[in-house]
Chain A
Amino acid sequence: MLEFARHKTVPVHRYAAIYYFGGMTLFFFVVQVLTGILLMLYYRPTATEAFESVELIMTNVSFGWLIRSLHSWSANLMIFFAFLHLASVYFTKAYRPPRELTWVTGCVAFFLALGFGFSGYLLPWNELAFFATRVGTQIPSTIPVVGEWIMRFLRGGERVTTATVSRFYGWHVAILPALMVVVLGLHLLLVQLLGMSVPPPAADEARRRRPMPFFPHYALRDFLGWLVALGVLAALAALFPWELGEKADAFAPAPPDIRPEWYFMFMFETLKVMPGGSIGGLEYEAIPILGFGLAALLLLLVPFLDRGVVRRGRSPVFTAVGVVAVVYMVALTAWGYRSLAPVYAVLGAGILVWLFAWAIERHENGGGG
């Protein structure tokens, strides 16, 4: 084992920064496990007690607010980095043989992470979560034949009730973690066995430059990244404690700002623009749902579909499809959060200023670099 660690190296080239995304995702996952275990000590998974127990955590338990906020923030950051990791592997086509299985296990881990997000969202039993879960679990029911069964299976009955909370809790703290440990273990093992992929455009460069020993050089860099991540996470949790909202009421209208978690927003918005009606017994809203399901399946199969990258080392079609998908998701997500327009304005201005400063500096340095 030690021997292995001593000999492991990481390629060095201009895209090497992307190697950090996976480790970052792993870091947030570990935070999730640790804070999750702590939250289990006070949380009660029933419709009558869930909200109150989270309230208790937020108000009475010492540092409860911190632990819960860390859990929520870290969940979101984990998904964010998992997404970055996935996208960077996709666009650098690191799924090339022999790493097909690494990709497949990674995809499955990503879907499991989304499952964690979906099942965890309901647990505080607040209004937003209640309706998001109602909609989210109703969605499969539009699938012909098996839909109704899937819905009942997810909800633990006809409606979103205390049975649903218990069920989601079971998924969230037992079933999904067990699956995740297996899948993630396999994923990390494969990464170790097969090594890091070098993006084709950087192949020459990586050959010229000496690879970095994993231990201690690369591990220390990873570690530094995690320290920064921990700092950012703590700052976010301390400055913006996660809100709890209103307790869910099964006999009140859906609140006007109903929305799922941000990473499901593009699907939510797609459902919104879908008109009503049906063709041949298939309701219209089943179309985007089946579409997303198909997209997920295709994503899983990318290494086996993209033969161009095996033969010619490039596959512009897959890159183009990826770009379109990312643009679609970003655009619909931004549209879903259009009420945040001022934030976008500030962010945009910030990026402009930064670009401007960067350009000036470059100019002053004689345009080199």
Chain B
Amino acid sequence: MPADVTPGTIPDPDRRRLLNWFLGTSFGALLASIVYPVARFLNPPEVETAATNEVDAGAANDPEFVAKGYKIVRFGSEPVIVVRVGETDFRAFSAVCTHLACIVEYLKANQIIHCNCHNAQFNLQGQVVGGPPPKPLPPFGVHVVAGAEGSARVIVSRS
């Protein structure tokens, strides 16, 4: 380097690289500091749901049970289908179809739990007997207890 040239007037390759690096990273950091919070904001927060362990599904001789043979009850935020097979024989499953999450119903005449969305059929054990679902319906515990005034009540619980 000639003596009359002060450092800095001729681009010093190391300096240039350093400046570029600072420019590049600060731009990157700026971008990241915008994108990251926005991306996180778009991601919905987890909602705390109170743990439900037992739900009263109503009287065993509830007219709805007798007429349609089933009832859909709220188990926390989840729908649960309670099927009345016999006077004291009840079954309970998650009512969310394992295919694509429609809510199932019970066809009393055929004794089939049926999903209207894509024609899934489950038997009274919750097993798939037709249609597209990949998995059986998750079962729930169910038992009949004597309630007040001598009425039998159906209690659904996490099994």
Interface residues of A, Cβ cutoff 8 Å to B: 131, 134-135, 138-139, 149, 152-153, 155-159, 163, 250-256, 258, 268, 271-272, 274-278, 283-285
Contacts and interface: CB of A to CB of B under 8 A. Distances in A.
B44 A253 contact: no
Given A163-B44, A251-B74, A276-B128, A258 B102 contact: yes
A253 B116 contact: yes
Contacts of B104: 253-254
22 contacts: A131-B117, A135-B102, A135-B117, A149-B43, A157-B44, A158-B47, A250-B79, A251-B74, A251-B95, A252-B72, A253-B95, A253-B103, A253-B116, A254-B115, A254-B116, A256-B116, A258-B102, A271-B100, A271-B118, A272-B118, A278-B134, A285-B132
- Chain B binding surface SS class: loop
Interface in B84-123: 95, 99-105, 115-120
A248 to B, nearest CB: 11
Interface of B: 42-44, 47, 72-74, 77, 79, 95, 99-105, 115-120, 128, 131-134
Contacts of B79: 250-251
Contact of B42 (A139, A153, A252, A283): A153
Contacts of B101: 134-135, 138
A263 B105 CA distance: 27
B95 to A, nearest CB: 7
Contacts of A275: 132
A182 to B, nearest CB: 18
A251 B44 CA distance: 23
- Chain A binding surface SS class: loop
Given A131-B102, A276-B134, A285-B132, A254 B117 contact: yes
A276 B105 CA distance: 19
A241 to B, nearest CB: 26
B37 to A, nearest CB: 16
A285 B117 contact: no
A255 B116 contact: yes
Contacts of A251: 72-74, 79, 95, 103
Contacts of B128: 276
B102 A254 contact: yes
Q: Which 10 A-B pairs have the closest CB atoms?
A: A253-B105, A254-B102, A138-B101, A138-B100, A272-B118, A254-B116, A135-B100, A156-B44, A276-B134, A251-B79
B29 to A, nearest CB: 25
Contacts of B43: 149, 152-153
A131 B73 CA distance: 18
Given A153-B44, A253-B104, A258-B117, A159 B132 contact: no
